[in-house]
Amino acid sequence: MDPMLLQPRIHFVRSDAPQAVAAYEGLVARFGQTMLHDADVIVALGGDGLMLEVLQASRRDPRPVYGMHRGTVGFLMNDYIEDGLMERLMAAEAAVINPLKMTVECDDGEVRQAHAINEVSLLRERHQAAKIRILIDGKERMSELVCDGVMVATPAGSTAYNYSAHGPILPIGAEILALTPISAFRPRRWRGALLPRHARVTLECLDPERRPVSATADNVEVRGALKVHVELDPSISHTLLFDPGHGLEERLIREQFA
């Protein structure tokens, strides 16, 4: 936060979880609710799902977002403590992240785009495994990956779906992306790759009629994907606020020793 702001104007948002609703009502009653266009900071009450929704909705909004955990998963959130909120906002550490841009060429001839904070993933739509060709910056790196799916994850998202699929945890300042297979069948022992952050990844469905795949950017799904291009979008920056000593970098390191 700007040290010149002695009393930041807050716009509160919440999920529909009962504990988030109760927290929202209590905080608005105590601190008031500023209209979004007049606010200095957004305080999100919920879990990581809400945080992703807020960041998606504020793609071109420079306001920082401070999350408080009132949901299920809260990796991107701070602890919920009502007292001292103004002081916490003033002392908060900022983490600036860029989202992934997903461009999908679909079987209906349409081209659809979406952004992802955590990951872009391809998943099989039917019982048969998907067959996917992988190109990096236009150069073929794998002619055929037989799998349940594959994903490209950011450092901020590396502890989410990527980690569950046995992908690496990436430090928040790392200039790399994780390319991680999901239940790879052939090559059976392939564990993925680390790519420079400027890489453009192309994932091509090789048998779309018999083995269709869907493409998902966080919570935005596109079905009938033929070819998916994934790259960081440096034109968009999101600022997340964390309590001192509990920022993204510390959380990512701590997660590796859990």
User: Which are the catalytic amino acids?
Assistant: 48
Is 87 annotated in a binding site? The answer is no
159 is in an annotated binding site: yes
Instruction: Please indicate if the annotation marks 162 as binding a ligand.
Output: yes
Residue 48 among known ligand-binding residues:
yes
Residue 216 annotated in ligand binding: no
116 is in an annotated binding site: no
Q: Is 156 annotated as a binding residue?
A: yes
State yes or no: cis peptide before 187, omega within 30 of 0: yes
Q: Is 118 assigned to a binding site?
A: yes
SS (H, E, C) 151-187: EEECCCCCCCHHHHCCCCCCCCCCCEEEEEEECCCEC
Judge contact between 241 and 211, C-beta under 8 A: no
Q: Concatenated DSSP letters for 93-140?
A: EEEEE--EEEEEEETTS-EEEEEESSEEEEEESSSSPEEEEEEETTEE
Please report, in range form, the residues annotated as the binding site: 48-49, 118-119, 148, 156, 159-164
Please report, in range form, the residues annotated as the binding site for NAD(+): 48-49, 118-119, 148, 156, 159-164
